Amino acid sequence: MPRHTAATTLAQMPSLFHPRLLETRRVAGNRLRLALRHWPQTVFHLVGGGVLLALVVNGVGRIDGDRIGLVLRLLSAQPLLLGLAFAGFGLAMVRSSTLTLAEELRTGWWGAMPVPAAATRRSLQLNALLLTVFGNAVVLAVLLLVVWLSRRSTSWFTPVALTASIALWLGALLGYLGARRRERLPPGARTQEHSSAAFLRLDRLDHPQLHHLPDWQRRETARRWRAGGRRWQLGGLALLIPAAMPAASLAGLSLLGIALIWYGLALRASEDSIVAADRLSAALPLPFPRFAAATLRYPLFAWSCTALLCVIGLLLQSASLTLALIVVLALGLGSLLSLSLTWRYRKRPWLARTRAVAETCLLLLLAYQLPPLAPVAALGLIARHYYVARSVR
């Protein structure tokens, strides 16, 4: 007997929003049901999350709120700078999310369905609105946390919170309008993707059925970078640079900041491409070790470039060569941990990201308390993820 209840409810609903919203609700319900069905795993994650939260709360409790308060008091005296920073944050956040969602609705599985343009527009507006509310709530929560940790006067709170909130909303509005304007451009006027031959040949990492993957990762990185994926971070970096700074240190800090921002984007783009490649090659008989090796090719190249720039940047900052090498090796280990989690959770990429954040926090805490143990623990985690990833079908 066909079950018509849910669809009847859908049909009776006015088409105020795109059905993608209902899809999101259904997915959330299914995710919850899945978590209940696999309850031992869920309990494990909850306990792990609880332990991590306790560690974070303990760590946060030790932060000197007065020092941050002092910085915020200084910032409150520069409302234009503060406003620009938060406007940039709002703009980048909403612009990127609106563009991604609009593209998904236009070219994804809903692409050919009859959905009123007004419903799509309202859904994009709702998405931007919710994202801005969430972003603003996070900003206010962080400021309130600093107030809670401060023992001295917190008179900076109202001007900073007001400036940040107004700027965030203005930036978000500009981000939404900019994204909609870009969406209306003819396809040829949007960012063009070009492909080219690999810069370096690394035959041991190549796989005949996956020789396009590194190029795919590279093009995805270039596309996101050109689309202004990390513009707000670059803006933040510009604001962090003090006015009176020696030229060498300034060059070093800029080099270091830009290299790390670009590398973060490259790693994220590479991981998203791995998930997509895995989905597309699901029917191919690919041995996992070869698949994993092929996915490493571009991130390895990106890390090499970033490592070189970071070492130069740190040396210009008067750091020792040993420290510079430790930093780039730690960056490499962190990246490998993130990639190994992507291999392991390639069917559930959201879980890979959550665990990457959690495990990185734990490793940083370990590095702070027992430095020599941190790389050993990182290698152990990477090996474990790789081992589990081999049996994922």
Partner 1 sequence: MSALEIAGLVHAYGPHRVLDNLDLRIAPGEFVALIGPNGSGKTTLLRCLAGILAPQQGRVAIAGIALGEDALAAKQRLGFAVDPTLLPPLLTGRQCLELFAGARGLGGVPAATLALAGELAFDTWLDREVQSYSLGTRQKLGILLGVIGEPPLIVLDEPMNGLDPLSAFALKQYLVRLTRENGCAVLLATHALEVAERFISRCVLLLGGRLVQDWDTAALDAIRHDADNSLEQVMVEALRRFGAPRTD
Which stretches of the chain bind partner 1, using CB under 8 A?
2-4, 6-11, 13, 19, 22-23, 26-27, 30-31, 34, 106-117, 186-188, 192, 279-280, 282-283, 347
How many CA atoms does the CB half-sphere of 393 hold within 13 Å?
2
Q: How far is the CB of 104 from partner 1 (least distance, A)?
A: 9
Q: Which of 263, 265, 257, 259 is CA-nearest to residue 237?
A: 257
Q: How far is the CB of 25 from partner 1 (least distance, A)?
A: 10
Q: What one-character-per-residue DSSP string does 205-219 give?
A: G--GGGTTHHHHHHH
Q: How far is the CB of 348 from partner 1 (least distance, A)?
A: 9
Q: Which of 335, 352, 350 is CA-nearest to residue 389?
A: 352
C-alpha of 74 from chain center: 29
Would you say 62 or 194 has its CB closer to partner 1? 194
Q: How far is the CB of 285 from partner 1 (least distance, A)?
A: 13
How many CA atoms does the CB half-sphere of 236 hold within 13 Å?
11
Q: Which of 68, 80, 66 is CA-nearest to residue 159?
A: 80
Q: How far is the CB of 6 from partner 1 (least distance, A)?
A: 5
Q: How far is the CB of 277 from partner 1 (least distance, A)?
A: 11
Would you say 106 or 384 has its CB closer to partner 1? 106
Q: Are 161 and 75 in contact (CB under 8 A)?
A: no
Would you say 2 or 242 has its CB closer to partner 1? 2
Would you say 22 or 145 has its CB closer to partner 1? 22
Length, in residues, of the chain: 393
Would you say 244 or 283 has its CB closer to partner 1? 283
Would you say 38 or 67 has its CB closer to partner 1? 38
Q: How far is the CB of 113 from partner 1 (least distance, A)?
A: 5
Q: Are 220 and 272 in contact (CB under 8 A)?
A: yes
Classify residue 245 by its DSSP letter. Answer: -
Would you say 8 or 304 has its CB closer to partner 1? 8
Q: Which residues of 29-64 are buried (b: 16+ CB within 10 A; e: fewer)?
A: eeeeeeeeeeeeeeeebeeeeeebeeeeeeeeeeee
Q: How far is the CB of 385 from partner 1 (least distance, A)?
A: 20
- Distance separating alpha carbons of residues 364 and 370, to the nearest angstrom: 10
Q: Which of 234, 232, 235, 205 is CA-nearest to residue 217?
A: 205
Classify residue 202 by its DSSP letter. Answer: -
Would you say 34 or 47 has its CB closer to partner 1? 34
